[in-house]
Structures are given as structure tokens and as C-alpha cells.
Amino acid sequence: MTTRNTPFAPGTPCWVDLFTSDPERSQAFYAALLGWEFADQGEAYGGYTLATKDGQNVAGLMRNSGDSGTPDTWSTYLATADVEASVARATEAGATVLAPPLAVGRLGSMAVLVDPAGAVVGLWQAGEHPGFGRFEEPGSVVWAETHSKSFGASRDFYARVAGWTYDVTADSDEFRYLTAQVDGRPVAGLMDSARFLPDAVPSHWAVYLGVEDADAAQAVAEAHGATVLMGAEDTPFGRIADLVDPTGAPFKLHSATLRNPPAVTDGATA
């Protein structure tokens, strides 16, 4: 089991939470899909709910009252050692501040930004809550990536604000993708989505939830009210499905096991 109880390196996706118009329905859905359990943190934390898997923190949920006009969505937070300094650096690099730095009791401090490409991203400075307690395995978040309609702007912004360096995974007009690294470790993806996203869909961060079997998990999700945008299919990165949960928040399922793995002949893939 991949667990952690210390802060993540700055620039690393360290937390996600779900903005949901129906917390009870969302909890029932993710409990059925991933085996999550939930604990309301009470009025002191605005009714924020922690999701856990095997006793380890995996995500958060908060109620979407509808007042902001924001649809139900998953949000990704990047670790920072100094949220005030990161927000200042981000605004200098072209970001807009949605929520200025805010202390969340003894848990840590947060801020929410819109990056220069239009994607909403959070920042988290850990206190008693470092972020994910369990990650990168079934039942937890296994990957995060930003789908950008302004690829160059996103690349430069996250290099400056999050300290990302990049490995080129693909670089063609058909598919352009960078793997972001922090301290030499892959932590997130950056996809050029200008050719793929409809006009009405802005740049955004996508959350990948790990499962043992993407096809079986997709069936469970559908049975509990999810909508399938793209059915599970093999990719060079695992077997992936795109879905929308019962209240309208998009997410992805990922399993390391492929349905049709490449044939191996004399030690080489066919």
C-alpha cells in the first residue's frame, strides 16, 4: 500500500476534492465504486467531508450550493511550502485568484487559482493534513493531468509556479503531451487539448481514480448512475475510461491491467 503522512514536495498534486450538489448521493456512488468511507468534519470546517480508504485519507467532498454558478467538479491541489509566495508568483505569471490564501484551522492553508489557460487549480500548504494518505493504487487517485487549450502558456506557467520540468511523451499535431516531474519523479501530465475540447469546455484538471479492473468498475459506475463518455479502452498508459458521476462531475477510471496486452515473443512485444 502506498501511504504517506508527511508533506508532498512542492509542485506535486497532493489532494483532490469534489464540489457536489448532492453530497449524500456522491458518497453513496463513490462508496459503491471505490469502497470509500466518509467522515463529516463538522461546522468548524464548513461541513467538509473526508473520504477514506482503509483508514487513509484519499479525497474530500464539499457541498455545491449553486450560488457560485460552478458546476459539480473535481478539483486538484498542488503542494506548496508557502502558499502566500506561490500565489504571488502565480499572479505575476498570469493567474487569476479565485480564493486568496486561507488558513484551514491546524490542517494547513489553501488558495484557488485560474491558470493562464483557464484551468482552475488549488494550492495546499500542509499543516496537520499533508494531503493524500493513500495514493497511486486502486481505490485512490493514481494520476492528475491538466487539459489545456493554451499548451505553451500552461507549460510555462507550471514551470514557473510549481517548479515543473518536463519529459516529452508525445509531440505531434495529433497528440502533444508532457509528463511533469518534480525532483526527477513524474507527478502529473500536461495535454494539448485545443483540438479535442469543445468550445463550451474550458481547460481543466482531470482526476484519474485507480481500480483493479476498469471494465468491471465502469459497469458498477453505470449501475449507480454514472454516464460513460468513453468506454474503457487500452492505452499505452493503462486501461482508461471517461465518465461523469451521478451529479455531473467528470472523472476517469484507470487500471494498470490491459484487456488486450501486446503479445510477447522471445522477450519482445509483437
179-198 core/surface letters (b: 16 or more CB in 10 A; e: else):
bbbbeeeebbbbbbbeeeee
DSSP summary character for residue 173: S
Name every residue whose Cβ is closer than 8 Å to that of residue 28 and which is 6 or more positions away in sequence.
Answer: 224
pTM (2 d.p.):
0.94
Distance CA 267, CA 270 (A): 9
Q: What is the DSSP letter of 132?
A: -
Helix ranges (H only) for 35-74 are none
Find the helix or strand (DSSP H, E) in which 97 lies: strand 96-104
Per-residue pLDDT of 34-63, as tens digits, reads 999 999 998 888 889 999 999 999 999 999
Domains of the chain: 13-126 (3.10.180.10), 141-255 (3.10.180.10)
Per residue in 183-229, pLDDT tens?
Answer: 999 999 999 999 999 999 999 999 999 999 999 999 999 999 999 99
124, 78 Cβ separation under 8 angstroms: yes
Residues 91-120 have a mean pLDDT of: 97
Digit-coded pLDDT (tens) for 228-237 = 999 999 999 9
Note the pLDDT of residue 137: 95
